[in-house]
Amino acid sequence: MAPRAKLALVLGGLYLLLAMLFSVLGVALWADMQESERQAIRAALEVRYGLAIFVILISWALLGLVVQALYRAYVQVPLSLREQALVMATSNPALRLPENGAPEIRALAQAVNALAEQREALERDVEDRIRQAKASLEEERNRLAALMSELTQSVIVCNLHGRILLYNDRARLQFKVLGEGGGIIGLGRSVFAVMERHLIAHALDNIRHRMGRGSARPSAVFVTTTRAGQLIRVHMAPVFGAEPENAAAQRREPLVGGYVLMLENITRSVEMERTRDLMLHSLTEGSRASMANIRAAVENLLDYRDMDTEQRDRFVGIIRDEVTIMAQRLDQTTSEFSEALEVRWPLEEMVGADLVQAAQRRIEQRLGLPTETAGVAEDLWVRVDSYGLLLGLTYLASRLKGELGAQRVLLRLSRAGRLAHLDLIWPGVIDGAQTPANWEFEPMNIGGETSRLTLREVIERHGGEFWMQRDEAADQSFFRLLIPIAARPDAVDPTAFVHSESRPEYYDFDLFQASEETRALDDRLLTQLTYTVFDTETTGLDPSGGEEIIQIGATRIVNGRLLRSETIDQLVDPRRRIKPESIRIHGITEEMLRGQPPIDQVLPAFSDFCEDTVLVAHNAAFDMRFLQMKEAATGVAFRQPVLDTLLLSAVIHPNQESHRLEAIAERLGVNVIGRHTALGDAIVTGEVFLKMIPLLAEQGIRTLREAREAAERTYYARVAY
Amino acid sequence: MTRRILIADDEPNIVVSLEFLMKREGFEVATAIDGEATLAAIEKMKPDLVLLDVMLPKMNGFEVCQRIRANPQWSGVRVLMLTAKGRDTEVAKGLALGADAYVTKPFSTKDLVGQVRRLLGLE
């Protein structure tokens, strides 16, 4: 009932009650009166009828006003306060109740305001905490990403479904097959594309088994091969998932949520081992035959001294020949296997200048001996056991200071063929008697601290040499250490730095929460799917008329992020001529295509790239037609679901005239850069697609099935290639 | 009766020594330089003992040894294998395939003569 109607009812009731009270009083008095009294009252009232009614009406009106004022103060004001309190509770926590009306109501409003004040402060506090937590999480992630990218080891982290959550650049390069940025390591991709499923399953079983036996650090090791035939040793360690608190008490062993794979390419060391075997074999068995020939000849010579001269000469000749052969074989083996003969102490590769700098720091700090450099080769990488070498240099400097009174030392690093000269120079030429020849064989002792190592051992770890030399012309002496030079470390893939404005997207922990992978894609939300957005450039527009693909560009969307560091940008040799008018569009000349792989090599790599994703392209029918034309020839079929941004644009904006990529990009506020390269277009398409997902949701299109069906209904869907 | 010895080795430098040695020890000696020639020579001269090198061209010593043992007519032929392969696995293989003795190069000529005499029952 409306408040006003309630007021009228209350007022009406009040009037009625008053009327009834007065009537009862009047009737009672009337009945009790004598006839004379009745006469007198009747006479008195007859004249003052108007006045009586007037007084009654006035008092009614006054009563009405009082009731209304009470109603305002105790009903209407709380009602309006209630409305405002609801606003406070639902939409505007900063709103406060006005403190007016009756004192009781005012006190109530004050209490409510105080509560609101408290609530707001609490909310602010919670928000602050969330912000802080987010910031520290982000910082940790960045730190982890930076750490990962610096690791010299390849690392891949997967969830239990084998989806890759994190990887570093080295891991990507390890499995790179074709194309620049592409490859088969990527966020959300299946690790089984590069490693056999049963190997991983077996290793996981081993780990669980070890955990069951109470091993503190369960891990497993196995060896696998890459498609390029490289041998990879894989070290697997489990990642323990977070678990609900109450479950922790019941479960004794932690829950494995995924695993870390650390990869090491052992192809080279295995090859090295084989080379050593070969060498050993050639030395032992090759020598046995020669030694047998010599021994038999010698023993004949000794045992049968009565033989004639001709026979004797023959035996002597045999001995000479066989010794020559053995010497040759020895030389040959040494030169052939020189690399394998190097001592196998694990050496690290580092920039020579860094090594020298570290040595200077060490000598100055430990010994207080000033150092200088006397020429350090630039861009020279060395392979060293830096701990041993720095120890050795400091040791030499300390003996120079203590026994020869050196006031300062100089360091020099220069290239000498396969080796580098690392010189420790001190002023003055010492004479022969003082040659510190035995220093290298004594345990290194620096300022009272003795190491078990000798300098000789350190030198041998490097397969190097060590000696002292005098340079009388310059009036100085120096120790020379020969250390091996390293080839410059593998040049890192330049494309890794192309998109340096944002940090590389090598991790996505949200994938840990990925739901059942096996569920059909159709009913999954568009926001959850993994997409490959791609574009092709072609020699012409007619796929069935023999036109060919000359460029494929692709990028990926994982968990609503466009991954600019996981791309394919591959030119393709079409093995036919390109029409000049199409060159004007894509700018790809025949010259650029020379030496590029043909389509039957590119499509398998592209297919790997697309595995388990939904394909997205602008005017997808066109690109798909080209891919399908190649299906028979390459044996590569693309059966993934396909979404077309052109059709989706028609779904979202049915009244727009143009659904060209540029027009859509402009409508949706996407910057267009690098158009008409396949990768450039793919990236624009990807960004456009990401903007479309919420717009589609507004129309109730949320799953892949809904999007496909909506696209099929549009007019454009009827245009078939 | 003079015992006949066939020397099967493709290295002239050892053949010269072995031939000289065996002749001086009073044996009748023939030589063969590959596996097939060895089998032909056995057929022809019916030797009492073959000094058989493992690394022979055309047919290796292991195979020659197997062929000798496969032929009942040659059951009296002693086989002494000579080899530069010193691994115990190969010694086991040679003996398993029917060699009577297995001598690894380099060897002492005295020991070799001793082995030959023992195999021929001359001591």
Q: Does B107 touch chain A (CB under 8 A)?
A: yes
Q: Do A285 and B84 touch (CB under 8 A)?
A: yes
pLDDT, position B40: 92
Give the domain extent around B88: 4-119
Rounded CA-CA distance A630/A599 in Å is 8
- Give yes or no: residues A361 and A390 share one domain: yes
pLDDT, position A436: 64
| Distance in Å, alpha carbon of A303 to nearest chain B alpha carbon | 9
Q: Does A281 touch chain B (CB under 8 A)?
A: no
Give residues 44 to 63 of B whose Cβ lies within 8 Å of A: 55
Q: Does B108 touch chain A (CB under 8 A)?
A: yes
Total domain count, chain A: 4
* Nearest Cα to Cα of residue A82 among A69, A98, A71: A98
Give residues 15 to 34 of B whose Cβ lies within 8 Å of A: 16-18, 20-21, 24
| Distance in Å, alpha carbon of A295 to nearest chain B alpha carbon | 7
Tell me the catalytic residues of A. Answer: 676
Q: Could you say which of A284, A289, A296 has the minimum Cβ distance to residue B18? A: A296
pLDDT, position A340: 60
Whether residue A688 contacts residue A665, with contact meaning beta carbons closer than 8 Å, is answered with: yes
Q: Which residues of A touch B13 (CB under 8 A)?
A: 293, 297, 318, 321-322
* CATH number of the structural domain spanning residue B33: 3.40.50.2300
- Give yes or no: residues A633 and A665 share one domain: yes
- Give yes or no: residues A554 and A626 share one domain: yes
Q: Do B13 and A322 touch (CB under 8 A)?
A: yes
Rounded CA-CA distance A590/B20 in Å is 76
pLDDT, position A503: 37
Q: Which residues contact A284 (CB under 8 A, 6 or more apart)?
A: B86
Q: State the pTM of this model.
A: 0.46
Residue reference for tokens 């035995």: A438
Q: Do A299 and B105 touch (CB under 8 A)?
A: no
Strand order, beta sheet including A419-427: A371-376, A409-416, A419-427, A476-484, A465-471
* Nearest Cα to Cα of residue B83 among B22, B10, B3, B6: B10
Supply φ then ψ for residue A46, to 5 degrees.
Answer: -55, -40
Q: Which of A293, A294, A318 to mutate to test the interface with B (most CBs of B within 10 A)?
A: A293
Give the domain extent around A599: 519-718
Pair of tokens at residue B8: 């099967």
Inside any domain, residue A575: yes
Distinct helix (H) and strand (E) counts, chain A:
23, 19
Q: Do B16 and A314 touch (CB under 8 A)?
A: yes
Inside any domain, residue A133: no
Q: What is the bridge-based pairing of β-strands A371-376 and A409-416?
A: parallel
Pair of tokens at residue A309: 């001269």
Inside any domain, residue A102: no
CB pairs under 8 A between A and B: 66
Whether residue A175 contacts residue A226, with contact meaning beta carbons closer than 8 Å, is answered with: yes
B87: pLDDT strictly greater than 70: no
Rounded CA-CA distance B27/B19 in Å is 9
Taking CA atoms, B107 is separated from A193, A497, B104, in Å, by 57, 66, 6
Cis omega before residue B106 (within 30°)? yes
Q: Could you say which of B21, B106, B107 has the minimum Cβ distance to residue A300? A: B21
| Distance in Å, alpha carbon of A513 to nearest chain B alpha carbon | 56
Rounded CA-CA distance A218/A701 in Å is 46
- Is the four-CA dihedral A196, A197, A201, A204 of positive or negative sign? positive
Buried b (16+ CB within 10 A) or exposed e, A117-142: eeeeeeeeeeeeeeeeeeeeeeeeee
Which of A460, A484, A508 is where one domain is finished?
Answer: A484
Q: Which residues of B touch A293 (CB under 8 A)?
A: 11, 13-14, 17
Q: Do B20 and A318 touch (CB under 8 A)?
A: no
Pair of tokens at residue A155: 């690392």
Rounded CA-CA distance B8/B68 in Å is 13
Q: Tell me, what DSSP letter sits at residue A433?
A: G
Q: Does B90 touch chain A (CB under 8 A)?
A: no
Buried b (16+ CB within 10 A) or exposed e, A299-333: bbbeebeebeeeeeebbeebbebbeebbeeeeeeb
Q: Which residues of B touch A322 (CB under 8 A)?
A: 13
CA contacts within 13 A on the Cβ side of A59: 11
Supply φ then ψ for residue A82, to 5 degrees.
Answer: -60, -45
Angle between helices A704-713 and A645-652 (to 10 degrees): 80
Buried b (16+ CB within 10 A) or exposed e, A335-345: eebeebeeeee
pLDDT, position A178: 46
Reduced to 3 states (helix: H, G, I; strand: E, B; else coil), residue A551 is strand
| Regions of chain A where pLDDT drops below 70 | 1, 176-183, 227-229, 242-254, 337-346, 431-437, 488-520, 673-675, 715-721
* Nearest Cα to Cα of residue A565 among A508, A525, A527, A603: A508
Residue of B nearest to A323 (CA): B13
Strand order, beta sheet including A549-558: A561-571, A549-558, A531-538, A614-617, A642-644
Q: Could you say which of A289, A295, A303 has the minimum Cβ distance to residue B11? A: A289
* Nearest Cα to Cα of residue B24 among A299, A304, A316: A304
B22: pLDDT strictly greater than 60: yes
Q: Do B107 and A322 touch (CB under 8 A)?
A: no
Q: Between A385 and B24, where is the model more confident?
A: B24
Q: Could you say which of B17, B107, B108 has the minimum Cβ distance to residue A297? A: B17
Q: What is the bridge-based pairing of β-strands A549-558 and A561-571?
A: antiparallel
Whether residue A662 contacts residue A622, with contact meaning beta carbons closer than 8 Å, is answered with: no
Q: Does B109 touch chain A (CB under 8 A)?
A: yes
Inside any domain, residue A687: yes
Residue of B nearest to A299 (CA): B109
| Distance in Å, alpha carbon of A339 to nearest chain B alpha carbon | 26
Q: Does A311 touch chain B (CB under 8 A)?
A: yes
- Is the four-CA dihedral A466, A472, A474, A476 of positive or negative sign? positive
Inside any domain, residue A99: no
Which of A23, A39, A74 is where one domain is finished?
Answer: A74
Q: Which amino acid is at B23?
A: K
| Distance in Å, alpha carbon of A456 to nearest chain B alpha carbon | 35
β-bridge mates for residue A532, sequence order: A556, A615
β-bridge mates for residue A421, sequence order: A414, A482
Rounded CA-CA distance A260/A282 in Å is 42
Distinct helix (H) and strand (E) counts, chain B:
5, 5
Largest CA distance in chain B: 37
Q: Which residues of A touch B84 (CB under 8 A)?
A: 285-286, 288-289, 292
Total domain count, chain B: 1
* CATH number of the structural domain spanning residue A627: 3.30.420.10
| Distance in Å, alpha carbon of A266 to nearest chain B alpha carbon | 28
Q: Does A314 touch chain B (CB under 8 A)?
A: yes
Q: Does A658 touch chain B (CB under 8 A)?
A: no
Reduced to 3 states (helix: H, G, I; strand: E, B; else coil), residue A546 is coil
Q: Does A296 touch chain B (CB under 8 A)?
A: yes
Supply φ then ψ for residue A493, to 5 degrees.
Answer: -50, 120
- Give yes or no: residues A332 and A447 share one domain: no
pLDDT, position A175: 75
Q: Which of B14, B29, B55, B102 to mutate to test the interface with A (most CBs of A within 10 A)?
A: B14
Inside any domain, residue A160: no
| Distance in Å, alpha carbon of B81 to nearest chain A alpha carbon | 14
Residue reference for tokens 């305001």: A113
Whether residue A509 contacts residue A569, with contact meaning beta carbons closer than 8 Å, is answered with: no
Q: Does A294 touch chain B (CB under 8 A)?
A: yes
Q: Does A507 touch chain B (CB under 8 A)?
A: no
pLDDT, position A438: 75
- Give yes or no: residues A429 and A541 share one domain: no
- Give yes or no: residues A581 and A566 share one domain: yes
- Give yes or no: residues A538 and A556 share one domain: yes
Taking CA atoms, A257 is separated from A114, A210, A607, A667, in Å, by 47, 16, 29, 43
Rounded CA-CA distance A619/A660 in Å is 9
Inside any domain, residue A525: yes
Q: Which of A282, A285, A324 to mutate to test the interface with B (most CBs of B within 10 A)?
A: A285
Q: Which residues contact A705 (CB under 8 A, 6 or more apart)?
A: A522, A523
- Give yes or no: residues A568 and A696 share one domain: yes
Q: CA end-to-end span of chain B, whole Å? A: 15
Q: Do A303 and B110 touch (CB under 8 A)?
A: yes
ipTM confidence score: 0.76
B51: pLDDT strictly greater than 90: yes
Q: Which amino acid is at A363?
A: I
